[in-house]
Amino acid sequence: MSGILEQNILSLNEEGLLADVLGFETNEVARTAQGALLHTHSGHEFIDFTSGIAVHACGHNHPEVVQAIVQQAREVLHVSDIMRHPPQLELADWMRRRFAEILPGDPFTFLLLNSGSESIDAAVKLALRATGRSRLAAFEGAFHGRTILATALSRSKTIHWQSCSALVDLLRSNIYHAPAPRCSGCQNRSSAPCCLQGMEEYLKQHGADTAAIVFEAQQGEGGYVPLEPAMAQELQKMARKYGVLLIADEIQTGWGRTGKWFGFEYLGIEPDIVVFGKAVGGGLPLAGVAARKPLMDQWLPGEHGTTFGGNPLSCAAGLAALTIMHRDGLVERAAVLGEAVRKRLSAMKGSCGIADVRGRGLMIGIELRDANGKPDYAACDAVKLRARDKGLLLLTCGAKIGSAHADNSCLRVLPALNVSEEMLWKGIEILESALRGD
């Protein structure tokens, strides 16, 4: 790009053309990206520990993913629900084989859509259809997306719903939020975990009307808190007892991020519906719903639809990315590297405000608390900015709903699953230095 065009982009960036509601992390403008590195129009280079919010499992612009997109672009760009196309069928076939290994039994069938939020809506619609019920349950600290229904199901940051609470609260009159699943810090650990107590009480009263419990195997926005297997197994027992479907929101945890294909694999449970997104599109917009065929077939043709969902380019890119992950053992690699990163960062626990280092695979949270033991959101932001100044892109997370039980403040470590060890440890060194305030 010539100097003049470069200047033009930088001045356009100053003109308020794009809605600030998205809360862009920086005023930088992306120029090129490759692997773990992102270059911007103002000439900066960043190691990317955000992976486009847990999307780039194979790093930015993996050549095989780009090649798959280019090849597909020459064949079919878009047909919508008019007819099926090869990338959709090939991707679904690949996924069905993976699901058969993880959850043997009736084969899985896939509804391919555009975004995680949209897929959460669809999964809930399917559960309502299949059960004929009208209520839902989820957890405090949960984040399930940005549509109004996904917003009502979520409870991780008050700012996400307060401006539209008049409608969200109407939906929430049919949605129960059990206390945040924080097993390690649970007040009621000596009896039953309080999230389960809450859920049990709700289901005793409303179990016959409840279609589904929606959960994250490791809360994302809520603060990178993994569920405990014992808690998840109790939850499943409860769901089965009341005929309630279990919907796993694997949008962030899915497709290898946690060191297994899906986060629920750590829990010894079998969700009825799995919602996926982010990494599945290899960097293009793709998400969807997986359910066994007899359950998915409860829907009549035409009860749901999409213009762009399961787009040929996204499916081709996604299939290329998943194939690379499988071929190169990136899921197992995420487990090994994640363990090493957690071990190294855990050595800093108790210093620099670090209260906890947690997570599974390469979905790692570093929780900061202040001297009074309160979530230190300001410190997280300060570390993130210091890291950025040193060339490392980080995100934060953590529930912020005014509940001492749910709230926390975390930095997230989310590199690509194929990040080179050199780049990984270089990024970790920057992070450590930013934590120390160097």
Q: Which residues would be at the binding site for ligand PLP (CB under 6 A)?
A: 53, 115-117, 120, 143-146, 216, 220, 249, 251-252, 277, 287
Q: How far is the CB of 350 from ligand PLP (least distance, A)?
A: 29
Q: How far is the CB of 282 from ligand PLP (least distance, A)?
A: 14
- Per the CB < 8 A criterion, the answer to whether 85 and 76 are in contact is yes
Neighbours of 310 (CB within 10 A): 26
Both tokens assigned to 12: 């356009």
| CB of 112 or CB of 287, closer to ligand PLP | 287
Q: How far is the CB of 274 from ligand PLP (least distance, A)?
A: 12
Place of tokens 């994640």: 338
| CB of 274 or CB of 434, closer to ligand PLP | 274
Q: How far apart are CA 380 and CA 373, in angstroms?
A: 14
| CB of 353 or CB of 415, closer to ligand PLP | 415
Place of tokens 């079998």: 270
| CB of 140 or CB of 249, closer to ligand PLP | 249
| CB of 122 or CB of 430, closer to ligand PLP | 122
Q: How far apart are CA 110 and CA 275, in angstroms?
A: 10
Q: How far is the CB of 213 from ligand PLP (least distance, A)?
A: 15
| CB of 395 or CB of 430, closer to ligand PLP | 395
Q: How far is the CB of 426 from ligand PLP (least distance, A)?
A: 26
Sign of CA dihedral 110, 114, 120, 122: negative
Q: How far is the CB of 117 from ligand PLP (least distance, A)?
A: 3
- Per the CB < 8 A criterion, the answer to whether 417 and 62 are in contact is no
Q: How far is the CB of 431 from ligand PLP (least distance, A)?
A: 21
Both tokens assigned to 291: 């359910």
Residue 318: strand, helix, or coil: helix
Residue 207: strand, helix, or coil: helix
Both tokens assigned to 97: 């084989």
| CB burial string 141-178: b at 16+ within 10 A, e below | bbbbbebbbbbbbbbbbeebbeeeeeebeeebebbbbb
Q: For the CA atoms of 65, 306, 264, 318, what is the dihedral angle to 10 degrees?
A: -10
| CB of 53 or CB of 76, closer to ligand PLP | 53
| CB of 200 or CB of 216, closer to ligand PLP | 216
Closest residue to ligand PLP in the complex (CB): 116
The pair phi, psi for residue 345, each rounded to 5°, is: -70, -30
Q: How far is the CB of 115 from ligand PLP (least distance, A)?
A: 4
